[in-house]
Homo-oligomer: A and B are copies of this chain.
Amino acid sequence: MKTIAILGTLDTKGEEHAFVAELIRQRGHETLLIDVGTLGDPTVAPDVPRADIIGDQQFADRGAAVAAMAEAAAEFCAKLVAEKKIDGIISLGGGGGTAIGTAVMRALPVGFPKLMVSTLAASESAPSYMGVKDVTMMPSIVDVAGLNCISRPIFANAAGAICGMVETARPVAEDNPVIVASMFGNTTDCVNHAKGILESAGYEVLVFHATGTGGRTMESLIETGLVAGVLDLTTTEWADEHVGGILGAGPARLEAAARNGVPAVIAPGCLDMVNFGEPDSVPAQFAGRNFYHHNPQVTLMRTSADECLALGKILAEKINLSEGFVKVLLPQGGISVTSQSGGPFHDRIADEALFASLKAGLRGDIRVEEFNCAINDPQFAEVAARALLDQLA
């Protein structure tokens, strides 16, 4: 017997969630009915009243109430999962309910069963509701507004699906331990070479492209505890995040490995570049800067020495959060294909500003090694892979 959380705005959608709860109990599971309504009184009795989540706060408008409830419910449910009090979660909703339900689900680990039945499942906003998590989305087809001959079979499918998820044993296998790595076209030689070395040593290497989504997904996997080591050689997303490019990965990039004590080897790969789309899409404020037209849809801008100073400081702050092993490797000969000698972004002064502020900002106990080669030299990849392997051995 498992326990399944049923989360919903029980002021307007009590009947629908109660229907799903009953089907789940008929299959022999416990249910925990959580009210996240923000308007009227719940129409069915919850196991967790909204006051347990958000107290007696009052809100100026519905938008503020939904946002606050989403945040509070996410924290509440993440705690339930951490304490192993629930084995799966399901929610049904329209606009507000989907915002709250998926905010909760995005706060839970990958692999934890989560199912959202939503009027917005096939809408353009669905990707932002799913984020980088395995939020399974089932379209409600009709409004989540009562039980009828359309909603009843769909809700029954949903109840069955979440039960089936919690009932299925996770097959245990002698998986090779997983290493995650960050890559860009401009660090492909480096990461592929290191990947080969790690795989030969019996690891599985999952590579994420540093596209913002890639970095966020990698961070979210590290959070699951399923990752043995991190080869973060392409930390470029911080350039976009700081300067204002289009591929930023948010302010928490680089934190997951640090905070969870997952061994990491880090290099400032591709921090010479900020990503924009077509040339016309570059904001006017950057007129006169050094651009490289990677392809018709990708325009790269060289980071300045000032920006590199700031980026070194940011990287140091994040790396200083580390609770486990971390090593920083600096390729003096260039941090990408474009910035190595002869490349369009070659700028020794900017690179040196980056390295200097990074070194100056790091905690005294964190090891930094400098190499007289470019990031894509086989020698650099070998040192990076060996540094991680030594730690994991």
Interface residues of A (CB under 8 A from B): 19, 23, 27, 110-111, 113, 115, 121-124, 126-127, 130-142, 147-150, 152-154, 156-157, 159-171, 173, 175-178, 204, 206, 217, 221, 224, 226
Contacts and interface: CB of A to CB of B under 8 A. Distances in A.
B206 A148 contact: yes
Q: 3 closest pairs, A vs B, by CB?
A: A164-B164, A160-B168, A111-B153
Contacts of A23: 168, 171
Contact of A164 (B161, B177, B204): B161
A178 to B, nearest CB: 5
Contact of A171 (B156, B168, B176, B204): B156
A280 to B, nearest CB: 18
A175 B156 contact: no
Total identical chains: 2
Contacts of A160: 113, 161, 164-168
Contacts of A168: 23, 27, 156-157, 159-160, 163
A342 to B, nearest CB: 34
Given A126-B126, A164-B162, A206-B148, A134 B154 contact: yes
A131 B137 contact: no
Contacts of A153: 110-111, 170
Contact of A161 (B130, B141, B148, B161): B161
A225 B110 CA distance: 38
B149 A141 contact: no
Given A160-B165, A164-B160, A164-B167, A152 B124 contact: no
9 contacts: A111-B154, A122-B127, A122-B132, A141-B221, A147-B173, A147-B175, A149-B175, A149-B204, A161-B164
A175 B150 CA distance: 10
Nearest to A224: B150
Contacts of A221: 141-142, 150
Nearest to A121: B130
A113 B152 contact: no
Nearest to A126: B126
B150 A139 contact: no
A226 B126 contact: no
A204 to B, nearest CB: 5
A121 B170 CA distance: 22
A128 B159 CA distance: 25
A134 B141 contact: yes
